[in-house]
Structure 1
Amino acid sequence: MPSNDRLKTVFITGAGKRLGRAMALYFGKMGWNVGVHFSSSYDGANQVVKMIDQIGEITNGQRGIALRADVRSKAQLESAFDACTRHFGAPPDVLVNNAGIFPPPAPISKITRASWDEVFSVNVAGEFVAAQLFSAIAPENARIINISSLGGLEVWNNRLPYNVSKSAVIHLTKALARELAPKISVNCICPGAISMPNEPSVSDASMIAPARIPMQRHGSAEDVCEAVYFFATCTQYITGQILTVDGGYHDAR
């Protein structure tokens, strides 16, 4: 649980499903208030909020709030931050930039300008705008944690827009870390092959066989959540860092 007198608050984009949902519940279990941002996952986000509220009823009183916004819209994101601040009585302490899209594979000849722009408007511009808005209201010792991907560190066949966008998130992290110091630390998580329970293998995990990973397994949502929570609670002196959560796969290649 947060150690100061008031409960700390985390604002997580894309928190209505998959890794974002897991992060929201993890922070809730650790005693944090959670701003559960979503774009289209209305039912999922509200279910997460209900679960966090139920946890809070028997622990420290932490709560959640569902916040709808298109990350491509600065006005909508600003309204979401305002609603989160009003609901909890203080601005969020931590921003987790998790919202992103993983488009279907396509050769370069099939990539349109519209599809390219869509990926970058969500995966890169969305993270920048959220960080920009958060930095204007963040308290001292605030944190930003950007979610990139193993795909930002290496090249995958027919995944050009995704690879380049996630690489941009890594450089965005380093630039923000310099720009926002010393008030805010900014770090980045690059998940590798992460298997989500009760979901088909449609993400990064489907590309890498467990036998090729030194740890001999795909990662879990818990693995990523623990890495995110580390950056949310560690010394603020750690900033501008890129942490790969991939069971050793990238460095062992």
Structure 2
Amino acid sequence: MFLSQREREKKRGEKMKRFQGKVAIVTASTQGIGFGIAQRLGLEGASVVISSRKQKNVDEAVEKLRTQGIEVIGVVCHVSNPQQRKNLIDKTVQKYGHIDVVVSNAAANPSVDNILDTQESVLDKLWDINVKTSILLLQSASPYLHKGSSVVFISSIGAYQPQASMGMYGVTKTALLGLTKALATEMAPNTRVNCVAPGFVPTHFADFITRNEDVRKSIEERTLLKRLGTTEDMAAATAFLASDDASYITGETVVVAGGIPSRL
């Protein structure tokens, strides 16, 4: 059957709307990788629920997304706060009635100390925010996830070889790889659970690494593609795993690090 150019363009547009009619929660999503993911899902048709700790950041991010035609609401949520986690889920369900995608992106790295020099309070914070709150958030969200839903954890290349200055952070990100496997089994067959392990991306979160020109060049040299990653790179991988294009993929981690060695 012959299609006119307009019809072909319409079909291409429909194909790119992989999340039309779907609802996606992205935590820590007012800047950096989280914002990039929310933007990508929204541009592909999702109704997006974004969150972060500060109302000002939430309001500014919502405005940016709405100017791009994205259906979005913003909720203040410090993921370690039980009431704010509950409010994030409640506001989403009140507005949209269900949840199709959860992207767990919130993370902290409050210390560059060696693991054996790290204070217990810091160890607790790293574990709570980087691992435990991901579980607690899904405990609240899971009743509203239906057949065909998807969860994506955001881990790190550091999960495979934790660096000395980010040792415990890397260990918590390694835990997300195991959590992905365990929850993929537990939540099957209705919900798929996957993980993205970003390489080095020059965001505010990673600024203490990438702002140093010598360190930046060293990372680029270790990377087969000779560049740092972008938030768009991470968003593209996350959108793929969350979409029906990955409907036969669960329990897997996709390393998006430009070829930095991670595993065989």
TM over 0.5: yes
Change in Cα spacing, 1:148 to 1:36, as seen in structure 2 (3 Å) is same
Mapped partners of 2:71, 2:22: distance in 1: 11
| Paired residues of 1:186 and 1:239 also in contact (CA < 8 A) | yes
Per-residue Cα deviation, 1:72-126 (whole angstroms, up to 9, x for no partner): 23332122111011122x2121000000012231123531110000011000001
**Which residue pairs with 1:209 in the alignment?**
219
Mapped partners of 1:247, 1:138: distance in 2: 33
Change in Cα spacing, 1:3 to 1:150, as seen in structure 2 (3 Å) is closer
Q: How does 1:58-77 map to 2 (within 5 A)?
A: 62-77=70-85
**Which residue pairs with 1:195 in the alignment?**
202
Runs of at least 5 residues in structure 1 that lack an aligned partner in the other structure: 57-61
CA displacement at 1:32 relative to structure 2 = 1.4
Q: How does 1:113-128 map to 2 (within 5 A)?
A: 113-128=120-135
Q: How many residues were matched structurally? A: 244
Give 3-state SS (helix, strand or coil) of 2:111's partner.
coil
CA displacement at 1:167 relative to structure 2 = 0.6
What letter matches 2:61 in structure 1? V
**Which residue pairs with 2:46 in the alignment?**
32
Give 3-state SS (helix, strand or coil) of 2:246's partner.
coil
CA displacement at 1:21 relative to structure 2 = 1.3
| Paired residues of 2:148 and 2:191 also in contact (CA < 8 A) | yes
**Which residue pairs with 1:161 in the alignment?**
168
Runs of at least 5 residues in structure 2 that lack an aligned partner in the other structure: 1-15
**Which residue pairs with 2:256 in the alignment?**
245
CA displacement at 1:29 relative to structure 2 = 1.8
CA displacement at 1:193 relative to structure 2 = 1.1
Mapped partners of 2:88, 2:194: distance in 1: 22
| Paired residues of 1:24 and 1:48 also in contact (CA < 8 A) | no
TM (norm. structure 1) is: 0.88
Change in Cα spacing, 1:158 to 1:202, as seen in structure 2 (3 Å) is closer
Per-residue Cα deviation, 1:209-250 (whole angstroms, up to 9, x for no partner): 201110011111110000000011123221000100001112
| Paired residues of 1:2 and 1:8 also in contact (CA < 8 A) | no
Change in Cα spacing, 1:77 to 1:199, as seen in structure 2 (3 Å) is closer
Change in Cα spacing, 1:154 to 1:45, as seen in structure 2 (3 Å) is same
Give 3-state SS (helix, strand or coil) of 1:70's partner.
coil
Mapped partners of 2:210, 2:196: distance in 1: 14
**Which residue pairs with 2:237 in the alignment?**
227
| Paired residues of 1:49 and 1:63 also in contact (CA < 8 A) | no
Are 1:85 and 2:93 counterparts? Answer: yes
Percentage of matched positions with identical amino acids: 26
Mapped partners of 2:165, 2:223: distance in 1: 22
Mapped partners of 2:262, 2:48: distance in 1: 34
Mapped partners of 1:76, 1:204: distance in 2: 32
**Which residue pairs with 2:22 in the alignment?**
8
Mapped partners of 1:152, 1:181: distance in 2: 24
1:110 pairs with 113, 117, 135, which one? Answer: 117
What letter matches 1:14 in structure 2? A
Change in Cα spacing, 1:178 to 1:100, as seen in structure 2 (3 Å) is same
CA displacement at 1:153 relative to structure 2 = 0.9
Change in Cα spacing, 1:118 to 1:3, as seen in structure 2 (3 Å) is closer
**Which residue pairs with 2:178 in the alignment?**
171
What is the root-mean-square deviation in Å for CA atoms of aligned residues? 2.2
Per-residue Cα deviation, 1:132-169 (whole angstroms, up to 9, x for no partner): 22212112110000000011111211322201111111
Give 3-state SS (helix, strand or coil) of 2:207's partner.
coil
CA displacement at 1:199 relative to structure 2 = 8.4
Mapped partners of 1:146, 1:72: distance in 2: 16
Mapped partners of 1:160, 1:252: distance in 2: 18
Mapped partners of 1:251, 1:82: distance in 2: 38
Mapped partners of 2:175, 2:122: distance in 1: 17
**Which residue pairs with 1:50 in the alignment?**
63
